[in-house]
Structure 1
Amino acid sequence: MSSSVRAIDEGRTSITVGSRSEAEEILLGKFQGDGYRNAAGFDGKGTRQYFGSKSGTYHWDDQLGADGRVLGHGAGNRDGDLPHLQIHTFVVSARRQPSTQNSYAWVWAFPLRDGRFRVSTVEIPKPFVDEDACFGEEDIERVHVATVETVEEIDTVVRELGVDPETLDAPWKNDFPL
């Protein structure tokens, strides 16, 4: 399990664990007490309507459809292959220019438990965003990743990526697909 926790600390957005209980242990150890809310029973739209955002929520995607895939995950969505725990972390984000017309791009930052901040710039294929589909680490292109100590350093990194730090805001204000 320590390699899974280390992967999360290093900014991975998708990890594989051996069991549901291991996933629950990671959830409790890494996220309990940080304000995360259980969004069980809601779809993405319902979560945003009830909580205002998917940010800071978690839920199990563990119900299988007649086709043997996780419900709500179409044939092209790798997250539909296996039941999983979905955790939507607290982030701020801003739109940025994508490298291709087939993607959307954002810069986003989130706090780490040790007081530092992780800053990433990601590109996500338009169908995942447009169809509000689940996506995993293998579906996105991480253009840049940095870990910084201060908010001022976040601003510097964001500026270097061609984005005005003043545009960093709650993800639902710039359609970041949490």
Structure 2
Amino acid sequence: MSADLHAASVPVYARYIARIPALLARDGAPEALSTRLVPGMLSAGENLHTAQGYVPRALEPLTGTQAPALPEGPHDAPTLLRRSALLSDWLAGITAQHFTDAARSHVTHRAGEADLTQGSETFLLHYALPNFFFHLVAGYSGLRAAGVALSKGDFDGFHSYPSGFAFPGTDRR
């Protein structure tokens, strides 16, 4: 049985692209976008930007649609918000019919220094979605490490915790 590539991608991307404005709305988030978790790693803003870039990178070859031109730089709140709005609008127009030929297709792409050709399911489920979430989590983590008061609920929009909540035994620093 093959995966429903539309159900596995479009609503997931739409939900989490919509979380980026929620993260950036928190006090101090725009100022914390330059935070790096470790030297040599992308900043929080660069990671959120990269996560956004994985949406068209994943869906254009699978659907034959073309994403709108996304502003490239700087990795600041206004640019990230504009990119999220453009992606949200584009995602709203992608239907299951756009994936009609995707199950039989292969995607040739570059991952770091590796040239890969993957079946559409493998490309989406084992490469594109995990990389999207890697960069989204790295962006969230950079903001959190900079002291922005974010919770798991800010990340996924599902969880709810009282203000100041901490898991037992964790250091609140």
Q: Give TM-score scaled by structure 1 length.
A: 0.25
- The structure richer in strand per residue is 1
- The structure richer in helix per residue is 2
Q: Give TM-score scaled by structure 2 length.
A: 0.26
| Structure index of larger Rg | 2
